Structure 1
Amino acid sequence: MSFFKNLFGKEEPSTTGTPVNFQEPGRSAQELTEQYAAWGLDKQHNLSEVIGDNSWNIDLDKGELSFGDNLSFPVQVLGTFSHSSETWLWAWANTGSNIPPQLLEQALQLKKHGEQYDIPMFKNQTFDATVNDLHLIGMIASGIFNSSAYYAADYGQGILLVTLRSEIIDKADRSDAARITTVFPQIISFFEMNHLNAFKNYVERRGYTVSTRDNQVTAVKDGTTITATFDEVGRLTNLKA
């Protein structure tokens, strides 16, 4: 998954305090992917522009993730991925790491949602996983909680997954057509989803007015029009701005 490696300088594929924007998320992993994956990947481009090639360091006592000497962001800890066993472990189940309770709020919210709607990915404390699963969890979490981005911090034996929040990252955001027509083909190549549903969710979250006619979706914002065409089962066949 060279794209993830290029974007984060890592192997392929927080808010502190009360989480925000936990409003009517999907009731299945498929719905959550269609709601948040593209938007989550979009945010990672903002993060990449801000942190550049700086190496990371985390201070769990402070609840901060830093890059170089001048960038430091508050985080929420979601969990860890083990390279050797290829398993995911939720932070709320990682009792041996003594993660401060205030950094587990988002992970526990996701656990509660998983239990309510029987979503194994969120309710099971550990499961066999791939690096792509880790990135999907990060994208969904950053969307649900309106975080600025997520970060996959590779520490050699595994990867620590956190969400973070920063006005600096938010200010790097842009919703122009070039970004959207780049991000959307990327996300549908990484994860299975209904392309039509995912596209509508994505452009609506980016502030576009959306109209649908037959299998064509038109998104309009500030004089810019993006048109996406889909086949009879909702797969993207054409995307242009």
Structure 2
Amino acid sequence: MTPFEELFNRHVATAFARQLALADHIGERDWQLDLTEGTATFGNDLRYQVQLLGTESELDRTWLWAWANEGSGIPPALLGLAGWLREYGVANGVPELTEASFPLDRAQGARLALIASALSGRAYYRGPYDGGAVFFHLEGLPAEIIAPARPERVFTVVGQILQGFPVDHRLMVTSFLSQQGWQVTDTPTEVTGRHPGGTDMRVTFDDLGRITNLAGSIQPG
């Protein structure tokens, strides 16, 4: 497992839970990005400061980090997070965070943005445009978006991660539950988690570490 893959496996679920909470908050609103003001507007009532992450090109199927997009005249104030991630990549040997551009079959924008969200405690937005998409992180979101997920959503997130991403099942589950404040017990065949509110999760694995059963009881409140 490469350093990038380990980062993704450890943090994808917590970051994905924030994305679900952000989707609840934004709903079906349209989006606009103003680089001069450094803001993103959703509909007529939501407006947040942003940090640019990078862009995906559908034309040549590549990712380009915002700090390397010298031709777009991006204000330096919007590159703080991308620059911090680059420094993190240098310090921790993660080339996907330090190389200016690379093919999307190596790492798509969503995977990069999820890692960035997890490491920074933010949530991101993917803004599609003709020929690609821009990824940016939102500043000053309501606290409930960044807060630990509700117990019932934890079950939903685990299921959606398993369907949507190739991950190490055990590493994903144990990391997610620990990050969400659950008490975790890890045995060779089973991982159990208990939320402070009483909800519990029981996950069993086969010899290859794949989930064979996920069960539990959700306590109200």
Matched ranges for 1:84-163 at <5 A: 84-130=59-105, 133-147=108-122, 149-163=123-137
Cα distance in structure 1, aligned partners of 2:172 and 2:185: 14
The answer for unaligned runs of 5 or more in structure 2 is 217-221
Q: Provide runs of 4+ in structure 1 moved above 6 Å.
A: none
Shift of 1:74: 1.4
Shift of 1:171: 5.0
| TM superposition score normalised by structure 2 | 0.90
Alpha-carbon distance change, 169 to 56 in structure 1, aligned in 2, over 3 angstroms:
farther
Output one character per residue of 1:80-136: Cα deviation in whole Å (capped at 9) or x when no partner.
001111110000000111111121111112212222333231111011105971111
Residue 210 of structure 1 aligns to which amino acid in structure 2?
Answer: V
Note if 1:184 corresponds to 2:158: yes
Matched ranges for 1:9-24 at <5 A: none
The answer for unaligned runs of 5 or more in structure 1 is 1-25
Q: Give the corresponding residue for 1:56.
A: 31
Q: Give the corresponding residue for 2:177.
A: 203
Cα distance in structure 2, aligned partners of 1:176 and 1:218: 17
State the percentage of identical aligned residues: 33
Cα distance in structure 1, aligned partners of 2:177 and 2:194: 9
Cα distance in structure 2, aligned partners of 1:104 and 1:172: 21
Matched-pair contact (CA < 8 Å) for 1:49–1:172? no
Note if 1:73 corresponds to 2:48: yes
Matched-pair contact (CA < 8 Å) for 1:75–1:162? yes
Cα distance in structure 2, aligned partners of 1:123 and 1:217: 35
Alpha-carbon distance change, 171 to 121 in structure 1, aligned in 2, over 3 angstroms:
closer
Q: Give the corresponding residue for 2:139.
A: 165
